Homo-oligomer: A and B are copies of this chain.
Amino acid sequence: MEEEQTHLNSRKAAILRAIVSHYVRSGEPVGSKTIVERFELGVSPATVRNEMAALEDAGLIFQPHTSAGRVPTDIGYRYFVDAWARDVRLPPDDARRIRRFFTEPRWELEEALRETAALLSRVTDHAALVFAPALDRSVVRHVEVVRLAGDRAMMVLVTDTGRVENHVVTIPGHIDDVQLEQVSEILNKLTADVALEKAATTISEGIERFPLELRGAVSTVVSALSDELSQRATERVFLEGASNIVDEHKFADLETVRGVIGALEHRRLVLEMLADALGGDMVSVRIGSENPMEQMQFCSVITAPYGSPGNAIGSLGVVGPTRMDYRRSIGAVHEVAAALGRMLSELGV
């Protein structure tokens, strides 16, 4: 993951930094003259040009056409991020905004996460994603199987962290309500304070506690439960601010925009983007072609895990054009992840 990056002498580095900074703001290729005028390097444009030629050879910048200035390549952005966008502090305004958001009390987890995504989107002006906590370590508080109609029944499970899972199961009609209540009762005794991820196996192992004629129904419930826990991941992604993708002209053509918006509609793809953030414990940045996905070649994805350090329970991030303010975006993602982690730990999640 951590490759040794190209080494640049300090002047080349300063020039690269100037190019990235200025291009991100202006959106136009940066020429040698502009750099000398706007950034204090103490050298002439000619010197800058020589250095720029070297930077171009190194693949960090390129010229859209012969008589234009330089634009950073994905590799150039990568250098910028590695060298200057680690451990940055947010502008005080943004920091305050985030802090204020998290001082308001929030009880409903889903709502809180959705609003967190909205906040992140507003602060960064990018599309924002929040992947709900895995809650693997949460513990079963209650299980219930309720007859709906015909042979359909509803399995409901509540955890100590306030997560409610429900799934429709098919239970033969000859099992009556009294028996179902019996099932619920035994299920509750079996799984009381059992970790969510172990619930299914705990029930399977305790199957002999159920009357013979009910065991079929119980195993249906067990498989419904495992399904639920594995499949529902995609429903636990919150996306806000997708319209930011259409903003201005940060993306070259409409087809790209369409591709990105389309990709964001696919919960699985979005999940993939957020999934690997769970591994590390730092902010992760994927720039343009570093993204495995076809449609994301012109996007940068910034993600971070949240939860207690070294033990991520979820992740969040933003998606924007490669031409973005990395320092600000990284700072915001970092800050919101930390604040969300704190909030959840106070909530006991």
Contacts and interface: CB of A to CB of B under 8 A. Distances in A.
B242 A265 contact: yes
Contacts of A240: 265
Interface in A100-137: 107-108
Interface string A132-151: 00000000011010111110
Contacts of A141: 146-148, 154
B158 A162 contact: no
Interface stretch (A63-71, A163-171, A211-219): A163-171
A82 interface: no
Given A141-B148, A265-B242, A166 B164 contact: yes
A348 B158 contact: no
Interface in A148-185: 148-150, 152, 154, 156, 158, 160-162, 164, 166-168, 170
A247 interface: yes
Contacts of A170: 107
Contacts of A243: 258, 261-262, 265
A241 to B, nearest CB: 7
Interface residues of A, number: 36
Nearest to A257: B246
A109 to B, nearest CB: 8
Contacts of A158: 144, 146, 148, 154, 156, 166
Nearest to A121: B265
A254 interface: yes
Interface of A: 107-108, 141-142, 144, 146-150, 152, 154, 156, 158, 160-162, 164, 166-168, 170, 240-243, 246-247, 249, 254, 257-258, 261-262, 265, 348
Given A142-B144, A142-B156, A149-B160, 16 more contacts: A107-B170, A141-B146, A142-B154, A144-B144, A148-B162, A149-B348, A150-B348, A154-B158, A156-B158, A164-B164, A164-B166, A240-B265, A241-B265, A243-B258, A243-B262, A247-B258
